[in-house]
Structure 1
Amino acid sequence: MPIATDQEALPATLRRNAPLVPTDSAASRALAAVIAILTFLAALCAGAAEIVASSADQWQGSVAQEVTIQVRPSAGRDIDADVAKADALAKATPGIATTRIFSKAEAERLLEPWLGSGLDLSDLPVPRLVTLKLADSPAPDLKGLRGALGEALPGVASLDDHALWLQRLSTMANTFVGVGVGIVALVLIATGLAVVFATRGAMAGNREVVEVLHFVGANDDFIARAFQRRFFGLGLRGGVIGSCLALAVFALAGLLARLWRSGPAGDEIEALFGAFHIGWRGYAAVLLIGVIASVVTGIVSRLTVRRFLR
């Protein structure tokens, strides 16, 4: 009968060169999977928030470059002459690049989403619109144009610079981004809690090894570093997997959006979501979340081990 060597006689956890924390176990794989799922969800929230922020910036930029003059019908006045006068005043204002007068039929079509199509609006006092494109320089004198309209067409023409709409759009975008950041923070907290339970389970399963290490002179920092390295590796694995999956989802969504834009509803999709491209900030945020998940895993495991050893 062969005689066992010293290494074979020792338990697996006490053999030379054996890691303090098991490198491959069902619990470790489960924790890596949980971190990957949580990182994936957090990265999706961050990417969605970036898409909303980018789209809101595009919308605000487009709307901020255009203002509208509304000319209301009035008894005893020629509305076509009033529209022509408002257009002339706009063209004479510095900073106005181009103007466009909406015909009566075009103004009536703008009401179709609310009133429906096929209605006879000829008897309704539908206002006429003049859209103004603003030039980059010189700065448009909207205050002067508003005063000129008030003097030339009192009670008939008004200037809308869309400031209220822009404010509401900015509030909506900031709220969505804030919610996304809050969800990311909650997901990272959930990751930390999962690591706490996993670390305490690993410490309980390796209690005898920890006691032997204490007996031979190992201090708490040595033991904590061993657990931190192991859980940092698990967090890094899960973070990389979750971030890569999120990037794949955004790449697939961008591809589908390009295909949809070639269809009948392409203009509506592009107007709502833009190019569905998260940009370099979005990609950086997704990768950063993976790194943060790894760092959180390592730090939380170290703190949990030191608290357990006390």
Structure 2
Amino acid sequence: MDARAFLIRTFHALRGDRQTPIVPPGNVAGRALTTVIAIMTFLAALTVGAVSLVSDTAARWENDISDEITIQVKPADGLDMKTALETVRQIALQTPGVRGASILDQTATSQLLEPWLGNNIDFKELPVPRLVIVQIDSGSPPNFAFMRDELQAAVPQAQLDDHRAWVSRLVAMARAMVLIGLFILSLVVVATVLTVIFATRGAMSGNRQIVEVLHFVGARSSFIAREFERHFLRLGLIGACVGGILAMIVFYLVGALTQSNRLTPEADQISALFGSFTIGWSGYVGVLVLLIVVAGLTALTSRLTVTRHLAEIDMISPVES
């Protein structure tokens, strides 16, 4: 660039002419940064969705444990299963804190065991335990020890299971996964910030003469920083929107695929663990918030980087003079 063209560009940049911005609007580095931000946002959005899914699942598990328990009746020689199940149901209904009790019929039991035993279960040949589902009042739960003693006295083959042991372990595992997801999300954010810092310094190096001349002839640091901030805000918005929209499409497709295969045994097991395997409105809101945060963080990081660089120039210039 000759001296005349350099001075003309510097004059327009100092005047604020948008036809000749300090930072070129389209270059290879800008497109590369947009791609990196899109990838980082996609990974972060997947993490946000996964954290939302696991958190909702853990909450659902805790809610289920407070609303429902099961009583298992094991087959035994000389035991009239039908009479034993009805006896168990009546004992449950008579216990304070129980809202209802129902016997799980053979068809429903067969469906529960189908993934492991197939769909041709002979209950007469195979000693399959039967279940009584008991709905309890979560606000005033029954005395489980008393109920267990009553059941053992009436039907020794009955065993009460309040699911608290294994569900508590599942909830603890889910919470650990949430913490791991948040840690991964923080790593992605840090990587994005570092990428923006390097990209900003690269853009300033490519336009070093213009930036320094503008700064020395009296342009405020806020003006120069604002030019970079606008440029990187646009790149951050484009990259964040691309990555976030792709993540939303992935969540939608996975949820739709799970719904379409809902009648298969594998889908039944997934539904038992994760419900409909969709992130819900809270997950989508989290992704949208993530897009805004990524774009804002990109612009803010660029502005702070430029401001710090100009401050370093001010510290070096007096020494050189």
TM norm structure 1: 0.80
Q: What SS is found at the alignment partner of 2:242?
A: helix
CA contact (8 A) 2:84 2:155 kept: no
Q: What SS is found at the alignment partner of 1:218?
A: coil
Q: Structure 1 residues 155 and 262 mapped into 2: Cα distance closer, same or farther (>3 Å)?
A: closer
Aligned-partner Cα distance in 2 for 1:211–1:86: 85
Q: CA RMSD in A?
A: 3.5
Any residues of structure 2 matched to 1:98-109 within 5 Å, and which? 98-101=100-103
Picking from 149, 152, 172, the partner of 2:151 is 149
Cα shift at 1:63? 4.6
Any residues of structure 2 matched to 1:5-20 within 5 Å, and which? 9-11=4-6, 13-14=9-10, 16=12, 17=17, 18-20=20-22
CA contact (8 A) 2:40 2:243 kept: yes
Cα shift at 1:287? 0.9
CA deviation map 1:131-184 (0-9, x unaligned): 23214488342333234335x259764422111122112112212222222111
CA contact (8 A) 1:70 1:127 kept: no
Match of 1:61 in 2: 63
| Structure 1 unaligned residues grouped into runs of 5+ | 1-7
Aligned-partner Cα distance in 2 for 1:288–1:74: 58
Q: Structure 1 residues 87 and 41 mapped into 2: Cα distance closer, same or farther (>3 Å)?
A: same
Q: What SS is found at the alignment partner of 2:282?
A: helix
Aligned-partner Cα distance in 1 for 2:137–2:149: 22
Aligned-partner Cα distance in 2 for 1:63–1:106: 20
| Structure 2 unaligned residues grouped into runs of 5+ | 313-321
Q: What SS is found at the alignment partner of 2:166?
A: helix
Cα shift at 1:203? 1.3
Cα shift at 1:40? 0.9
1:29 maps to a residue whose letter is R
Q: Structure 1 residues 117 and 23 mapped into 2: Cα distance closer, same or farther (>3 Å)?
A: closer
CA contact (8 A) 1:97 1:135 kept: yes
Aligned-partner Cα distance in 2 for 1:28–1:89: 72
Q: Structure 1 residues 139 and 304 mapped into 2: Cα distance closer, same or farther (>3 Å)?
A: same
CA deviation map 1:47-104 (0-9, x unaligned): 12222233343344345432123456789x8575765544332121133344345689
Q: What SS is found at the alignment partner of 1:261?
A: coil
CA contact (8 A) 2:47 2:184 kept: yes
CA contact (8 A) 1:46 1:180 kept: yes
Match of 2:315 in 1: none
Q: What SS is found at the alignment partner of 2:186?
A: helix
Cα shift at 1:111? 7.9
Aligned-partner Cα distance in 2 for 1:286–1:111: 38
Match of 2:33 in 1: 31
Q: What SS is found at the alignment partner of 2:134?
A: strand
Identity of aligned residues (%): 43
Match of 1:288 in 2: 289
